[in-house]
Structure formats: structure tokens, C-alpha cells
Amino acid sequence: MIGVLGAGAFGTALAVALGRAGREVRLWARDAAQVEDMRRTRRNDLALPGVDLPDAVSVHAEIGETTGGEALLLAVPMQALGSLLSSHPEIGEAQPLVACCKGVDLNSLRGPVALIRDRRPGAVAAILTGPSFAADIARGLPTALTLAATDRGAALQDLLSTPTLRLYRTDDIVGAELGGALKNVIAIAAGVVIGSGLGDSARAALMTRGYAEMLRLSAALGARPETLAGLSGLGDLVLTCTSTQSRNFRYGQALGRGEGFDPWVTVEGIATARAVLRLAEGRGIDMPVTAMVDALASGRIALDDAVARLMSRPLKQE
């Protein structure tokens, strides 16, 4: 049995993909009314419209009913992961805990695996990350992800892979965490570029300079550059900077157009930009794209000023 905590789009999509492949999956949703609706309709139209839940997937309102299996997937937003672990002691250490979120915790400045290890020091901790949209996974479209783990990685890779969901393994947890976190920040900036009408050439330049920022910080924190060049870094960056399926990209587009954005939609890159800047400043690392995103998102700078600052940076060797 595989437990999935979090019935948002990504958690539901993983449950669907695994259930379709014949795994028994127990999916937890925090809202009891949502649980009842999903049990009745066998769908999660709130988060993933039009996708039927396979018979192998059951829906639960109690976390204790999802634990004790072969793995527990933590598919909640990054900024909710710490409180989930603190509030639910029934999330034990017997099974591997696999983070399925991207970002840096604002309070501790830790990534998801480090947060799990802090709260559950005896558990096997891993992260599942990479270029993917929930709708694609749920529809059975070919998707490749990175599974970062230092213990039981091969067993988890076999357990969580399906005919359409291929997992590639690494032991560079820091690199996988940072690639997934930082690309969300750059995706917001890419959305700003397109939303404000600066064009695709400007987006390509922005992505390239943003990737350089990702490499600088990741190297300072001990990540391997080849990890950032893989699925969890460059692959995820390309996807989220070029598709309106990305919440972070859509949020950036709205900023660029001067429009509002649905406050109920989770945009991980906003908090990540703030946390990453604190990490970078403590190490003397220059991250102008990240700083621009944080300033725009917090309303400390106008769009025209942000673009002007980036375009007026000193000319230098690439």
C-alpha cells in the first residue's frame, strides 16, 4: 500500500497513476466534505477535473488510515509541510516519507527532505521532483521525474514508477531540492516577461540568466552541477517557464499585465524567492532575478522599475 497525503492536483494525479498501475493507494484529503464528494463521484473535480479515480484508490479523512504502507507521499504545499509533520504524530517513521513539493521553508530555510529529517529523524526521507504537470500524469502522458534519496532509493524507484511515469534516481538531495525550488522563482520572472510584452527573446535571456543564479546558489550549498542540468533542474525550468499550465508562470503573467491573481491558487515561487534571498545574502551570492521577483511580488517595486534595473546591470563577460 502507498499512502498519499494531499488531495490537490499533484497528489491526486500521483494516486491515479499509481492506482492505474495496480498499486493500492490510500489518498488523504484534509476536508471531510471533499472526501465524501470524492467517494461518491470517484473524481476530484475541485483539483483535477474530469479524471476518474481507479478502483485501487481509496479516499480517507484520517491520516492514520494511510500510514504504515510501503511509502507515504507528502503532496502538500512546501509552506504547509512543517505544520503537517508537527500536527500529525501518526505520520510515523516506519515507512519512507517522500516529499512531493518544491520550495524552501520560510521559517527554517530548509528544503523538504531536511524538514522531514528534522521532524522525523528516524525515517527514510526522499523527494520526488522534476518536470511534470498533474494533468499530464493523470492522463497517462509520458512523464519523467527525479527521485532523490540516499537510502532505499532503488526500492522506491521500482515502487513508484509506472509504464508512463519514469523515475530516475539520484543521491544528490540538495541539488534535486534546489532545482525544483528555484525554477519556480524563475518561472514567475518568465511570466512577467511575457505578460508585459517583452517577447520570447527576452524570455530566453531571462531563463538563461536565471539558470546561472540557480547554479550559483546550488553550488554554494553543496549540490552537484550535473543534477541542476538534469530533470529536476533544467528540465523543470524549461517546462515551467514556457507553459501556462504552470501556476508560477501564470502568476508572473498576471504581474506583467498588471492584473490580479486568484489568491486561492498556491504559487510556491513567491515564498521561495523570499527564503532564497535570505540564503543567498548570508553567503554573498548575487541573485538579481530572484530579487526582482521578490520585490514585485511584495509590491516594493513597480514593473517598469524592475525591468529597468535588470536591463541596466553592468555589461560583463558571460
Tell me the pTM.
Answer: 0.95
Q: Check residue 228 and give its pLDDT.
A: 97
CATH 1.10.1040.10 is held by the domain 181-311: yes
102 annotated active-site: no
Which region, left, alpha or beta, applies to residue 51 given φ > 0 means left and ψ of -120 to 50 means alpha?
Answer: beta
CATH class assigned to 2-171: alpha beta
Residue 73 has pLDDT above 80, yes or no: yes
Within the chain, where are the H helices? 9-20, 32-41, 78-87, 112-119, 134-138, 153-160, 173-195, 200-220, 225-228, 236-242, 247-257, 268-281, 288-297, 303-311
Task: Tell me the pLDDT tens digit for each residue of 215-227.
Answer: 999 999 999 999 9
Q: Check residue 310 and give its pLDDT.
A: 72
Task: Tell me the pLDDT tens digit for each residue of 77-89.
Answer: 999 999 999 999 9
pLDDT band per the 50, 70, 90 thresholds, residue 313: low
The domain locations on the chain are 2-171, 181-311
Task: Tell me the pLDDT tens digit for each residue of 88-133.
Answer: 999 999 999 999 999 999 999 999 999 999 999 999 999 999 999 9
Within a 13 Å sphere around the CA of 111, how many CA atoms are in the beta-carbon half? 25
Selected catalytic residue, list 60, 102, 110, 183: 183
pLDDT band per the 50, 70, 90 thresholds, residue 306: confident
Task: Tell me the pLDDT tens digit for each residue of 168-209.
Answer: 999 999 999 999 999 999 999 999 999 999 999 999 999 999
